[in-house]
C-alpha cells in the first residue's frame, strides 16, 4: 500500500505498523490525533466479526472529535468504543454488573454532591485511590467509603478501581480481550497506575496496544499521572516498537524554537513558515498586566469601536489567555469586560469533561445552538490538547511558574512541562507577561520573572511596553457641556 | 398622520456617549429638533431596560411615552413654539464581530422590538450567550445571521435593520469589515430584512445604484451619541402613528407610509472619501486608484471610504433609481448653520444662545430647516442665516469631504460674503 498524501513518512510508518505493541512519541503539533485516527481506520479491515476496537481518550470532547473524524473516514461506529478511561470502565461496571460488589442502584457521584468532608481530606483520599493499587485505609478513608456506600454512590476514582477489580476475574478479562483486539490510548503520558493496571490486563494475549503521547507534556502528576510509565512501555508491553513524530504543523518556527529551548533542547521540525511573534511584557502590577492583555486583544482584533479600526486577522475565538492558577482569571475578566470583549472561562467545564462519564456530562452540557466566538480564559492544565493562533500566558513569574507558594508546590520538572504545554498551544503569537507586584490569596508579593523566560534566546523575544493612549477628546462631549 | 422618526440612537450606557443621554433629555431634545418618534437605543442593556420600564408607559400600539410626572418639569423648560408629542420605540444596536470565510467581520445591526415582551426575549437570549452589561451596544461574537434568527424567533414582528451599511469597518457592506452583498451576510434570511440604514456618508442616490438593494427601503437616522446630535438624519412618515404603522411602511412594498428622508450631505460624513486621518491624506477615490490604494504618508493601504465602496459594488449608472426610492432633503444641523452664518465655532456660547433664541421665536429645528418662510428667519435671526438656509435647501454648499473617521467640513459662505449680504440688505 502506498503512503497516502495526507500523512508524512513517520506518520505513515506509525499508521502502517503491524505485529507488535506500539508507542508513538508525538510532540505538540505533530499530528497526533490525525495519526491515531488514521491508524484506527487502517486496522479496521483486519477485524473479524464480533471484534471491536477500544480507543481511550483523555476527555469526552476528544472522544467526540475522534468519533467525528472516524465517521468522516467511513468507519462504522458499531465497531468502536471511544471514550475516556472513566467512560469505558463505567460501561464495564454496567455490562458486568452482577460480577461486581456494587449496590444494584449505584450512582456515580460528582464532587459537588459530596458534603461533610474537608476538601483536603477528599483530595488526599482521591490521591490515594489514583496512586496506590493496594490501599491501607485510615479512618478518614473508611468513613468516606461508608458515606458513599450508604448513599449507593461511587466516586470517579472508584469507577476505575471497581473496574480493575472486575477484570481480576479471568473469564471476564479474556472475554474482553477477544472482543477488543486493538486498544488505542491517547495522552499516554498522563496515565495513572490504576489505568495502567487495566491496560496490562487487557493488552495481552494477542491484543495489540497502540499508545500515543509525549512525555514532555505530562502535567497531571498531582492527580496521579505517572510519566515514568511512558518510559517503561517496552518493558510493560512485549514486544513493542517505539516510533517518533517530529514534524510540527502548528507553530511558527520561532515559537517552536523558543518552546524547545525551554524544554531543554527539544527539537521538532518546523513545517510551517508562518511569521511568529513572541512578546515579553513586564507590567507594574497584576492589574496593569490584565489591562495590557485586554488592550492587546483589542489591538489584535483591529479595534472594537469606530475610531480605532484597523484590519483584523484574528477573531475572538482565535485567542486564549492561560494562567497557572484559576484565581488569576478574575482581574483578566474584569479588564476584558471593561473593553466589552466577549470571553469565556473554560476551566470549570473542562474539569467536568475530564472526569465525568457521558451521562453525568449530558446533564451538564449546554446544547450550543449558535457558534459564539469568545476569547478563552483557562488554566494551563485545561489548555492541554488545544491550539490557538494567539496565546497569552500571564503570570510568568517565579513562584507562579514554577508554582511555589505557601501550601502549593509542584515538582519542578512537571512545572516546566506545564509551561511547555502552554507555549506550544500558540500558532502565531505568543505573549508571555509578568507583573512586578501581585496580589494573590490576600498577599501582596514582589515578583521576579519566571526563570523559564531566561531559557529563551534573546533574539526570539520582543519586549513590549504598555502604550498609554491619551484620552480622546470627544467632540460630542464638548458640545454637550455648552448646550 | 405625518411624523418624523429617528430610530438609531444610544443611551448613556453605550461607550463614548454623553452622560446626560437619558430619557428626559431625549424627550427634551426630540422637541427642540421636531422629532416625534425617537428610538430608545440600547434596550438590551439591563440597566437601561430597567429605566425604560420605570420611566415609560405604553402609548399608541408599540410606542411608549415618558411618564407624566417626569415629563411635566421638562415641559416647563420647552419654548411654546417647540412643544410636540414625543414617543419612544424600542431599539438597540448590536456589534457583531465574528469570522466568516476566514475573514473577521464587524457588522453593526439594529433591532426594533415590537413590544416590551419581545425586547425582553431578545435580551434574555443575548444575555445567555454574551456580555450585555458592559456596553449599551454590546459586542457579541455572534454571526449577524444568527442575530437575525434570534430576533425573528423572539417575535416575527420585530424589525432588523443593518446599520449604516457602508461604514468601512463596522457594517454589512463595508469595505473593511463587511460583505459584498446582503445575501452573503444574511443568506436565506435576507428576505426578512426590509430596510437598511444609509448612514451619514452615503445618500439615497448612491444606494440606488445597487440592484441588490432594490428590495430594501432606505432609512436614515442620527446614530446620536449625545442628545444634541438627535435628528442629524431622520425619516418622515405619513401613516398610522404606531409601531404597526412604521412596520408596514418599512415591510410592505406597496405601502407609502415612509414619505421621505432627511439626509446629511454625504460628503460631510466621516467616511465619504478615502485616506488616512493620521497621515492627513484625504483622497477622492480616483486619487486612491491612481496611488494603487497605498497611502503616500505611511505606505499602508488607505481606509477605503463609502464613495469608492459604492462605486465598486454599483451595477447601475448614476441616474438610476431603486424600486422603493423616496425623495430626500439634504440638511445641515441648525447649530452648524448658525455657526457658519456667524463665522464662529459650532460649540461657541454665542451660537448656542442664538440657537435657543431662534427656536423659541420660530419653532423646532426641522421646521426652521425645512419649512419656515425665509422672511421669518430673516426677522428672527438675520439675513445671513436666512440666506444660508436658502442655499442649504437648494443644495448650494461646499464641503471638504470627510475621510477615515474625520467629519467633512461645510462651507456655505465665501470669505467676505457675509458682510456683503448684510451690506446689500442694508441698502434696501
pLDDT in tens, A382-398: 999 999 999 999 999 99
Q: Does A312 contact B20 at a Cβ distance shorter than 8 Å?
A: no
Does B313 contact chain A (CB < 8 Å)?
A: no
Q: What is the pLDDT of residues A318-335, one digit of tens each?
A: 999 999 999 999 999 999
Among A350-354, B75-79, B372-376, the minimum mean pLDDT is found in A350-354
Does A335 contact chain B (CB < 8 Å)?
A: no
CA distance A309 to chain B (A): 7
The three-state secondary structure class of B32 is helix
**B contacts of A482 (beta carbons < 8 Å):** 347-349, 352
ipTM tops the 0.95 cut:
no
pLDDT band at B370 (very low <50, low <70, confident <90, very high): very high
Q: What angle do CA B345, B32, B406 make, to 5 degrees?
A: 40
pLDDT band at A356 (very low <50, low <70, confident <90, very high): very low
**Mean pLDDT in residue range A408-428:** 95
Q: Does B138 contact A313 at a Cβ distance shorter than 8 Å?
A: no
Does A308 contact chain B (CB < 8 Å)?
A: no
Which residue of B226, B275, B348 is the best one to mutate when testing the A interface, meaning the one whose CB has the most A CBs within 10 A? B226
Q: Which of B17, B97, B405 sits opposite A316 (nearest CB)?
A: B97
Q: Which chain B residue has its CA at the smallest distance from A316's CA?
A: B141
pLDDT score of A469: 52
**A contacts of B406 (beta carbons < 8 Å):** none
pLDDT score of A471: 45
**A contacts of B346 (beta carbons < 8 Å):** 479
Q: Could you say which residues from 134 to 163 on chain B have a Cβ atom under 8 Å away from some Cβ of chain A? A: 134-135, 138-143, 146, 150
Q: Which of B143, B228, B355 sits opposite A480 (nearest CB)?
A: B228
CA proximity to B357, closest of B368, B343, B373, B371 = B368
Q: Is the dihedral of CA B195, B198, B204, B205 positive or negative?
A: negative
Q: What is the pLDDT of residues A282-303, one digit of tens each?
A: 999 999 999 999 999 999 988 7
CA proximity to A297, closest of A387, A388, A385, A368 = A388
pLDDT band at A364 (very low <50, low <70, confident <90, very high): very low
pLDDT score of A311: 72
Asked whether A31 and A9 are in contact (CB, 8 A), the reply is: no
Q: What is the pLDDT of residues A44-97, one digit of tens each?
A: 999 998 999 999 999 888 999 999 999 999 998 899 999 999 999 999 999 999
pTM for this prediction: 0.89
pLDDT at A367 over 70: no
pLDDT band at A410 (very low <50, low <70, confident <90, very high): confident
**A contacts of B405 (beta carbons < 8 Å):** 306-307, 309
Q: Mean pLDDT for chain B?
A: 95
pLDDT at A248 over 50: yes
CB atoms within 10 A of CB A11: 25
Does B409 contact chain A (CB < 8 Å)?
A: no
Tally A–B CB contacts below 8 A. 110
pLDDT band at B92 (very low <50, low <70, confident <90, very high): very high
Q: Could you say which residues from 13 to 72 on chain B have a Cβ atom under 8 Å away from some Cβ of chain A? A: 15-18, 20
pLDDT score of A57: 94
Radius of gyration of chain B (CA): 21
CB atoms within 10 A of CB B11: 26
Q: Could you say which residues from 115 to 134 on chain A have a Cβ atom under 8 Å away from some Cβ of chain B? A: none
pLDDT at B308 over 80: yes
CB atoms within 10 A of CB A52: 15
pLDDT score of A61: 86
**Mean pLDDT in residue range B323-327:** 94
pLDDT at A369 over 90: no
pLDDT at A361 over 60: no
CA distance B18 to chain A (A): 6
- The span from the CA of A294 to the CA of A304, in Å, is 12
pLDDT score of A366: 42
CA proximity to B44, closest of B93, B85, B81, B115 = B93
Q: Does A316 contact B141 at a Cβ distance shorter than 8 Å?
A: yes
The three-state secondary structure class of B351 is helix
pLDDT at A360 over 90: no
Does A482 contact chain B (CB < 8 Å)?
A: yes
Q: Which chain A residue has its CA at the smallest distance from B138's CA?
A: A340
Look at strands A52-57 and A180-185 and give their pairing.
parallel
pLDDT band at A359 (very low <50, low <70, confident <90, very high): very low
pLDDT at A196 over 90: yes
Strand order in the sheet with A208-213: A80-84, A52-57, A180-185, A208-213, A21-26, A240-245
Which residue of B42, B99, B167, B356 is the best one to mutate when testing the A interface, meaning the one whose CB has the most A CBs within 10 A? B99
The 3-state secondary structure of chain A reads CCCCCCCCHHHHHHHHCCCCEEEEEECCCCCHHHHHHHHHHHHHHHCCCCCEEEEEECCHHHHHHHHHHHHHCCCCHHHEEEEEHHHHHHHHHHHCHHHCCCCCCCEECCHHHCCCCCHHHHHHHHHHHHHCCCCCCCHHHHHHHHHHHHCCEECHHHHHHHHHHHHCCHHHHHHHHHHEEEEEECCHHHCEHHHHHHHHHHCCCCCEEEEEECHHHCCCHHHCECCHHHHCHHHHCCCEEEEEECEECCCCHHHHHHHHHHCCCCCCEECCCCCCEEEEEEEEEHHHHHHHHHHHHHHHCCCCCHHHCCCCCCCHHHEEEEECCHHHHHHHHHHHHHCCCCEEECHHHHHHHHHCCHHHHHHHCCCCCCCCCCEEEEECHHHCCCCEEEEEECCCECEECCEEECCEECCHHHHHHHHHHHHCCEEEEEEEEEEEEEEECCEEEECCECHHHHCCCHHHCEECCCCCCCCCCCHHHHHHHHC
Q: Which residue has the higher pLDDT, B417 or B374?
A: B374
pLDDT score of A255: 98
Q: What is the pLDDT of residues A257-278, one digit of tens each?
A: 999 999 998 999 999 999 999 9
Does B131 contact chain A (CB < 8 Å)?
A: yes
Q: Where are the alpha helices (DSSP H) in B105-203?
A: 116-129, 144-154, 182-186
pLDDT score of B307: 94
Omega prior to A239 cis, within 30 of 0:
yes
Q: What is the pLDDT of residues A140-176, one digit of tens each?
A: 999 999 999 999 999 999 999 999 999 999 999 999 9
- Phi first, then psi, for residue A144 (nearest 5°) are -65, -45
Q: Does B348 contact A482 at a Cβ distance shorter than 8 Å?
A: yes
Q: Does B106 contact A480 at a Cβ distance shorter than 8 Å?
A: no
- Sequence-ordered strand ranges (E) for B7-89: 37-39, 56-58, 64-66, 87-89
**B contacts of A477 (beta carbons < 8 Å):** 18, 226
Percent of chain B with pLDDT over 70: 99
Asked whether A286 and A446 are in contact (CB, 8 A), the reply is: no
Q: Does A479 contact B95 at a Cβ distance shorter than 8 Å?
A: no
pLDDT score of A368: 55
**B contacts of A314 (beta carbons < 8 Å):** 104
Q: What is the pLDDT of residues B108-147, one digit of tens each?
A: 999 999 999 999 999 999 999 999 999 999 999 999 999 9
CA distance A301 to chain B (A): 8
Contacts of B395 (CB under 8 A, 6+ apart): B265, B330
Which residue of A377, A476, A477, A478 is the best one to mutate when testing the B interface, meaning the one whose CB has the most B CBs within 10 A? A476
CA distance A264 to chain B (A): 36
pLDDT band at A479 (very low <50, low <70, confident <90, very high): very low
Q: Does B17 contact A316 at a Cβ distance shorter than 8 Å?
A: no
CA A52 to chain centre: 27
Report the half-sphere exposure of B366 (CA within 13 A, side-chain side).
Answer: 27
Q: What is the pLDDT of residues A444-476, one digit of tens each?
A: 999 999 999 999 999 999 998 866 554 444 444
Asked whether B261 and B269 are in contact (CB, 8 A), the reply is: no
Amino acid at each position: 500500500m502506498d503512503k497516502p498524501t495526507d500523512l508524512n513518512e513517520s506518520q505513515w510508518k506509525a499508521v502502517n505498523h503491524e505485529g507488535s505493541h506500539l508507542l508513538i512519541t508525538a510532540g505538540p503539533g505533530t499530528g497526533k490525533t490525525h495519526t491515531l485516527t488514521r491508524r484506527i481506520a487502517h486496522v479496521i479491515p483486519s477485524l473479524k466479526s464480533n471484534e471491536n476496537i477500544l480507543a481511550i481518550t483523555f476527555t469526552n470532547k476528544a472522544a467526540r472529535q475522534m468519533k467525528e473524524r472516524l465517521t468522516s473516514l467511513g468507519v462504522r461506529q458499531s465497531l468502536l468504543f471511544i471514550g475516556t478511561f472513566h467512560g469505558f470502565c463505567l460501561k464495564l461496571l454496567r455490562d458486568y454488573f452482577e460480577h461486581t460488589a456494587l449496590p444494584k442502584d449505584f450512582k456515580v457521584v460528582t464532587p459537588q454532591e459530596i458534603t461533610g468532608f474537608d476538601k483536603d481530606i477528599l483530595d488526599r483520599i482521591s490521591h490515594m485511590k489514583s496512586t496506590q493499587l493496594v490501599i491501607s485505609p485510615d479512618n478518614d478513608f473508611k468513613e468516606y467509603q461508608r458515606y458513599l456506600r450508604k448513599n449507593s454512590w461511587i466516586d470517579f476514582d472508584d469507577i476505575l478501581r471497581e473496574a480493575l477489580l472486575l477484570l481480576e476475574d479471568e473469564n471476564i478479562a479474556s472475554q474482553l480481550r477477544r472482543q477488543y483486539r486493538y486498544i488505542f490510548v491517547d495522552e499516554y503520558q498522563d496515565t495513572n497506575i490504576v489505568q495502567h493496571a487495566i491496560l496490562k490486563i487487557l493488552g495481552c494475549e494477542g491484543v495489540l496496544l497502540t499508545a500515543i503521547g509525549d512525555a514532555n507534556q505530562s502535567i497531571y502528576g498531582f492527580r496521579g499521572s505517572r510519566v515514568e510509565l511512558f518510559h517503561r512501555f517496552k518493558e510493560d508491553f512485549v514486544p513493542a516498537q517505539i516510533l517518533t513524530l517530529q514534524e510540527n504543523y502548528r507553530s511558527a518556527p520561532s515559537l517552536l524554537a523558543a518552546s524547545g529551548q525551554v524544554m531543554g533542547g527539544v527539537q521538532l521540525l518546523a513545517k510551517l513558515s508562518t511569521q511568529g511573534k513572541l512578546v515579553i511584557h513586564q507590567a507594574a502590577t497584576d492589574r496593569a498586566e490584565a489591562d495590557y492583555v485586554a488592550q492587546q486583544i483589542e489591538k489584535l482584533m483591529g479595534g472594537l469601536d469606530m475610531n480605532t479600526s484597523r484590519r483584523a486577522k484574528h477573531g475572538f475565538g482565535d485567542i486564549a489567555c492561560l494562567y497557572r492558577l484559576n484565581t488569576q482569571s478574575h482581574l483578566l475578566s474584569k479588564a476584558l469586560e471593561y473593553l466589552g470583549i466577549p470571553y469565556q472561562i473554560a476551566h470549570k467545564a473542562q474539569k467536568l469533561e475530564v472526569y465525568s462519564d457521558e451521562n453525568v456530562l449530558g446533564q451538564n452540557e449546554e446544547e450550543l445552538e449558535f457558534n459564539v466566538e469568545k476569547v478563552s480564559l483557562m488554566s494551563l492544565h485545561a489548555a492541554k490538547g488545544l491550539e490557538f493562533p494567539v496565546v497569552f500566558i500571564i503570570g510568568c513569574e517565579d513562584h507562579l511558574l514554577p508554582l511555589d507558594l505557601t501550601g502549593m508546590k509542584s515538582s519542578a520538572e512537571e512545572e516546566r512541562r506545564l509551561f511547555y504545554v502552554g507555549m506550544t498551544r500558540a500558532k502565531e503569537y505568543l505573549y508571555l507577561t509578568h507583573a512586578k507586584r501581585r496580589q494573590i490569596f490576600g498577599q501582596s508579593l514582589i515578583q521576579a520573572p519566571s526563570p523559564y523566560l531566561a531559557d529563551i534566546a534573546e533574539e526570539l523575544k520582543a519586549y513590549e511596553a504598555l502604550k498609554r493612549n491619551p484620552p480622546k477628546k470627544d467632540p460630542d462631549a464638548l458640545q454637550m457641556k455648552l448646550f | 398622520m405625518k411624523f418624523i422618526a429617528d430610530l438609531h440612537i444610544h443611551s448613556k450606557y453605550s461607550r463614548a456617549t454623553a452622560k446626560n443621554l437619558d430619557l428626559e433629555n431625549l424627550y427634551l431634545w426630540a422637541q427642540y429638533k421636531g422629532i416625534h418618534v425617537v428610538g430608545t437605543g440600547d434596550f438590551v442593556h439591563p440597566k437601561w431596560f430597567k429605566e425604560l420600564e420605570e420611566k415609560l408607559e405604553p402609548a399608541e400600539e408599540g410606542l411608549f411615552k415618558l411618564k407624566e410626572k417626569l415629563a411635566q418639569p421638562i415641559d416647563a423648560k420647552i419654548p411654546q413654539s417647540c412643544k410636540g408629542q414625543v414617543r419612544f420605540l424600542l431599539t438597540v444596536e448590536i456589534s457583531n464581530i465574528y469570522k466568516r470565510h476566514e475573514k473577521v467581520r464587524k457588522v453593526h445591526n439594529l433591532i426594533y422590538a415590537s413590544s416590551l415582551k419581545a425586547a425582553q426575549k431578545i435580551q434574555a437570549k443575548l444575555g445567555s450567550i454574551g456580555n450585555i452589561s458592559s456596553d449599551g451596544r454590546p459586542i457579541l461574537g455572534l454571526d449577524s445571521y444568527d442575530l437575525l434568527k434570534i430576533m425573528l424567533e423572539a417575535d416575527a414582528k420585530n424589525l432588523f435593520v443593518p446599520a449604516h451599511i457602508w461604514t468601512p469597518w463596522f457594517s454589512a457592506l463595508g469595505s473593511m469589515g463587511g460583505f459584498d452583498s446582503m445575501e452573503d451576510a444574511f443568506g436565506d434570511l435576507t428576505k426578512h430584512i426590509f430596510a437598511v440604514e444609509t448612514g451619514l456618508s452615503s445618500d439615497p442616490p448612491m444606494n440606488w445604484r445597487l440592484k441588490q438593494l432594490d428590495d430594501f427601503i432606505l432609512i436614515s437616522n442620527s446614530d446620536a451619541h449625545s442628545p444634541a446630535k438627535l435628528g442629524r438624519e431622520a425619516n418622515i412618515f405619513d401613516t398610522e402613528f404606531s409601531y404597526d404603522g412604521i412596520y408596514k411602511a418599512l415591510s410592505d412594498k406597496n405601502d407609502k407610509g415612509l414619505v421621505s428622508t432627511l439626509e446629511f450631505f454625504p460628503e460631510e460624513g466621516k467616511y465619504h472619501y478615502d485616506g488616512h486621518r493620521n497621515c492627513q491624506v484625504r483622497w477622492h477615490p480616483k486619487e486612491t486608484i491612481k496611488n494603487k490604494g497605498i497611502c503616500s504618508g505611511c505606505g499602508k493601504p488607505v481606509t477605503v471610504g463609502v464613495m469608492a465602496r459604492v462605486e465598486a459594488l454599483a451595477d447601475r449608472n448614476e441616474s438610476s433609481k431603486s424600486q422603493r426610492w423616496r425623495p430626500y432633503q439634504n440638511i445641515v444641523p441648525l447649530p452648524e448653520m448658525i455657526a457658519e452664518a456667524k463665522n464662529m465655532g459650532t460649540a461657541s456660547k454665542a451660537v448656542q444662545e442664538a440657537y435657543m433664541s431662534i427656536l423659541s421665536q420660530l419653532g423646532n429645528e426641522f421646521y426652521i430647516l425645512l419649512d419656515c418662510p425665509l422672511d421669518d428667519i430673516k426677522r428672527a435671526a438675520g439675513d445671513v442665516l436666512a440666506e444660508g438656509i436658502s442655499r442649504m435647501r437648494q443644495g448650494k454648499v461646499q464641503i471638504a469631504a470627510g475621510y477615515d473617521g474625520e467629519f467633512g467640513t461645510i462651507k456655505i459662505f465665501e470669505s467676505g460674503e457675509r458682510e456683503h449680504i448684510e451690506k446689500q440688505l442694508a441698502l434696501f
